Amino acid sequence: MSDVKDQIAKAIGTHGMWKARLQGAVSSGKSENPPEVVEKDDQCEFGKWLATLAMDPTVGQSQHYVEVRALHAKFHGCAAKVLRLAVKGDRASAGTLMDGEYADASAALTSAMMRWRAA
């Protein structure tokens, strides 16, 4: 279980840094990360780790795992939407999405990860 707690703690920090990356993309209209890659929830370290847990019946079927996996996918989808708008130069829409749907997805994911870590 220690590995789970460590991975979750690391993921909370890593996913928190996405806000700064997205804000930079909104400001500059550029991103090192293509939206089509960001959208895939199994490309980041945490997503890869989550995918390996799916095969562990004890963890992969737990309520916490199922919730975090779904919220993680939503988080990546929202981040990709923001990036698409930002690189198209639609800063206003990207900012609105970031302050709304993305912020909500990020908060929900962080909250779910914290509950899982505490369990």
Domain containing residue 6: CATH number: 1.20.120.30
103 CB neighbour count, 10 Å cutoff:
13
Q: Binning pLDDT at 50, 70 and 90, where does residue 2 land?
A: low
3-state secondary structure of 44: coil
Mean pLDDT of the chain: 93
Q: How far apart are CA 14 and CA 75, in angstroms?
A: 13
More confident residue, 57 or 41: 41
Model confidence at 57: pLDDT above 90: no
Average pLDDT of span 80-108: 97
Average pLDDT of span 29-50: 94
The CA–CA distances, whole Å, from 70 to 2, 30, 61, 66, 94 equal 22, 28, 13, 6, 23
Q: For the chain, how many structural domains are there in total?
A: 1
For residue 62, the enclosing domain spans: 2-118
Token representation of residue 6: 């460590």
The CA–CA distances, whole Å, from 65 to 34, 49, 75 equal 27, 11, 15
Q: Are 22 and 82 in contact (CB under 8 A)?
A: yes
pLDDT of residue 13: 87
Model confidence at 90: pLDDT above 90: yes
